[in-house]
Amino acid sequence: MPKNATAAITLDRRGLTLAGESLPLLAGAVHYWRHDPAIWEPALRSVRDLGFRLVDVYVPWSVHEVDKDRFDFGHDDPRKDLAAFLSVVEAQGLYAIIRPGPHINAEMTRFGLPERIVWRRACQARSPRGHAVFLPAPPLGFPVPSYASNTFLKQATRFFRVLGELLRPLRYPHGPVVLLQVDNEGALYFRDAIYDQDYHPDALAAYRRFLAKKYGPKASPKATYGIGGASFHALEPPKEMSARSMDDLAWHLDWAELQEHLVTRFLRRAGKRLRKAGLNGLPTSHNIALAEHTSVLGQGSVQRVVDLVGLDYYYLASPASRRVMARRTSELAVRGDAHDRPSFACELAAGFAPFMSPMQLHDNAFTVMTAMAYGLRGYNAYMAVDRDRWVGAPIDQHGRPRPSSAFWKSLNEAVATSGFTSLRRKVPVRIVTPRVAIRLRRVLNAFGPASGAAFAVMGFAASAHCLDNDFGTGQPLASTTERFVDAVEAALEAEGVAFAHVGDDDPGACVHEAAWVVVATPAGAVDPDLMEALSAFAQSGGRVTFGPSAPARGPTLRALPDRPAFSYDVLEGPAADRVARGVGELGLPRVRVSPEGLFATVHEDVDGVTRVVFLINPGEAGVDAELSMDGQGEARDLLSGEPVVWGQGWVRSWVPPKAVRMIGLIPAGKGNGG
């Protein structure tokens, strides 16, 4: 049972369960306030007819607040009548995901925040020199709020109270509201370079409390960092990269950790206020924007404060996109399996915003199906219905299906008929990237205040934007870890062995149902909680490998008092031969597919019978694919219905360029398990 949920609504890896009925998380986004109420019904009918079961609903603070503490929920402008819109949702047999922010983005000016809030000094994030921090977002830049500001949270709480009064009677089972998102894309409003913000007075107070709690009442800045006085109560955080030795880095790494803490603390506090306002009894969620592996927010940290972690997906079809989605989604999926939660895309592009790279239907199709191939079990088509500041949704602004809607209808039908939300993809190998590696990448970003996440979204490796300091180790700290992870990943893909990336902020997911855990160790750094989980894993017969160096330091790069007491090996130098040998010694299953450049994943039912395979072709030319597959039986493309050849020991299919095929299998004598 999720935190704060009633018996009426529960979460498991298949989706939501409402009074015993399983509800897959297949959603489409509709922005009620951007449409005449006359089109609500035809638009929602079209959403339902495409096979979506939920409607994703942002609730913008700035739209409903017409003056300080005066709100319009349809009294003056019928487009703002949220309750009326939700009654139409319910009448169409749909359920609702409510996303009240306070930050919603939604391609809105000021991201849906009232103008009076962003210009209020007490609400604004601060630069190292105490100035407001601006986000140059189209169509109009604005000063971003501070996640630490008590004034900002207090003002948001007033909005939550009004909204809670309205929505309290519309929660399931009395209404259609079944899921509540807390805030949106918690990445410090995309001004997340480490020395860019937040030097707000409330953030500095939180920083000092954070350090006192972390190091204990008798610790001091002098003893901890070699700077400052006898108490953390007056310590200032670093304002630029000034470390000259390994010991100097602890001060900077703790500042990076504090910024992560500020966001997750806000999510916890905002969620508590939403529940107190009347939205209790609903599972909570939060969506993580692109490139979380370089930003303040990781999947594990969010998992501790909400019930459901989801990701955003906005990609063009390409080999680089395939690789990034494989990494992000495999982590989301193994975390979901470990905690019995669905792996969900809170936003998955169906069309594009005008300031994005233009995305065609084949890009959107490639994105959703590649994510599904690597374990995604639910998605929110953003947008399902077109509106201003958006292009190419499957349903037009009048509620009429466009030709692209046929793809989404076929996909939703394929999910239903295959029983896809109940299937599993086994991933015996885990590649663990510690949080300290992400913090180092932020600390060593050479282009602050430009965000390191922005470089990652553009496809740049750490070596392209990070300082190459080695701090006496002989290897650049930021890029060496990345190269190690890349090498292990390439070696495993060459062997055809399924693997998942995962962060060390969730040690249980690192070892859950794994056979081999490979841990990246920047300068030998390993988290003690992970070491404890690895010790139990190794003692139960699991294999543990560290690289590119043996574990010797903790997460602030201070020396560990003791070396691990369990058996492990260290992978130094070229990875290919070592990985191949490990795969052979462990007898790990392989998924063999040809030609080169094609990728395949396998999904099984509870009995271990393969029911769905994906063939992913990110290249520029179509290919005749052959996948090694035991047995024989019936096979068909689950979207087109076309038969696929399944002979004795292989499946063969044509895969168009930049495309994915989802193939359902019915082994001879097994019947349809879906």
Q: Model confidence over 113-134: pLDDT tens digits?
A: 999 999 999 999 999 999 999 9
Q: What was the pLDDT predicted at 7?
A: 53
Task: Identify the bridge partners of residue 664 per DSSP, sorted by sequence position.
Answer: 612, 636
Q: What was the pLDDT predicted at 672?
A: 63
Q: Are residues 622 and 502 in the same domain?
A: no
Q: Are residues 344 and 458 in the same domain?
A: no
Q: Is 569 helix (H, G, I), strand (E, B) or coil?
A: strand
Q: Are residues 71 and 114 in the same domain?
A: yes
pLDDT digits (tens, 9 = 90+) for 275-311: 999 999 999 999 999 988 888 998 999 999 999 999 9
Give the chain's domain count.
3
Average pLDDT, the chain: 95
Among 565, 586, 607, the domain-final residue is 586
Q: Are strands 344-349 and 659-667 parallel, antiparallel or unpaired?
A: unpaired
Q: Which residue matches tokens 């949920």?
A: 5
Q: What was the pLDDT predicted at 673?
A: 52
pLDDT digits (tens, 9 = 90+) for 247-277: 999 999 999 999 999 999 999 999 999 999 9
Buried b (16+ CB within 10 A) or exposed e, 165-201: ebbbebbbeebbbbbbbbbbbbbbbbbbbbbbbbbbe
pLDDT at 4 exceeding the cut of 60:
no
pLDDT at 377 exceeding the cut of 50:
yes
566 found inside a domain: yes
Nearest to 376 by CA among 329, 422, 408: 329
Q: Are residues 573 and 537 in the same domain?
A: yes
Q: Give the integer Cα–Cα distance in Å for 552 and 546.
A: 11
471 found inside a domain: yes
Q: Are residues 457 and 385 in the same domain?
A: no
pLDDT at 668 exceeding the cut of 50:
yes
| Mean pLDDT (whole number) for 312-340 | 97
Is 0.85 topped by the overall pTM? Answer: yes
Among 403, 421, 439, the domain-final residue is 421
The boundaries of the domain holding residue 142 are: 21-192+279-421
pLDDT digits (tens, 9 = 90+) for 501-531: 999 999 999 999 999 999 999 999 999 999 9
pLDDT at 671 exceeding the cut of 80:
no
Q: Are residues 166 and 37 in the same domain?
A: yes
Task: Identify the bridge partners of residue 58 per DSSP, sorted by sequence position.
Answer: 99
- Give the domain CATH number at 607: 2.60.40.1180
248 found inside a domain: no
Please report which confidence band the pLDDT of residue 430 belongs to, taking 50, 70 and 90 as the band edges. very high
Q: Are residues 381 and 518 in the same domain?
A: no
Nearest to 256 by CA among 560, 561, 559, 557: 557
CB of 400 within 8 A of CB of 47? no
- Give the domain CATH number at 569: 3.40.50
226 found inside a domain: no
Q: What was the pLDDT predicted at 73?
A: 98
pLDDT digits (tens, 9 = 90+) for 624-654: 999 999 888 999 999 999 999 998 889 999 9
Q: Are residues 388 and 510 in the same domain?
A: no
pLDDT digits (tens, 9 = 90+) for 154-199: 999 999 999 999 999 999 999 999 999 999 999 999 999 999 999 9
Q: Which residues contact 243 (CB under 8 A, 6 or more apart)?
A: 249, 251, 252, 443, 469, 471
Q: Are residues 498 and 623 in the same domain?
A: no
Q: What was the pLDDT predicted at 1?
A: 31
Among 532, 566, 586, the domain-final residue is 586
204 found inside a domain: no
Q: Are strands 95-99 and 177-181 parallel, antiparallel or unpaired?
A: parallel
pLDDT at 22 exceeding the cut of 70:
yes
- Helical (H) or strand (E) element with 579: helix 576-586
37 found inside a domain: yes
656 found inside a domain: yes
9 found inside a domain: no
Q: Are residues 465 and 554 in the same domain?
A: yes
What percentage of the chain reaches a pLDDT higher than 90? 89
pLDDT digits (tens, 9 = 90+) for 562-617: 788 899 999 988 999 999 999 999 999 999 999 999 999 999 999 999 999 999 99
Q: What was the pLDDT predicted at 636?
A: 97
DSSP state of 276: I
Q: Which residues contact 573 (CB under 8 A, 6 or more apart)?
A: none
Q: Are residues 459 and 517 in the same domain?
A: yes
**Any idea which of 3-7, 209-213, 590-594, 659-663 has the lowest mean pLDDT?**
3-7
| Mean pLDDT (whole number) for 525-548 | 96
Q: Give the integer Cα–Cα distance in Å for 592 and 374.
A: 16
Q: For the sheet with 15-18, list strands across it.
A: 9-12, 15-18, 21-23
Q: Are residues 625 and 549 in the same domain?
A: no
Q: Which residues contact 87 (CB under 8 A, 6 or more apart)?
A: none
- Give the domain CATH number at 364: 3.20.20.80
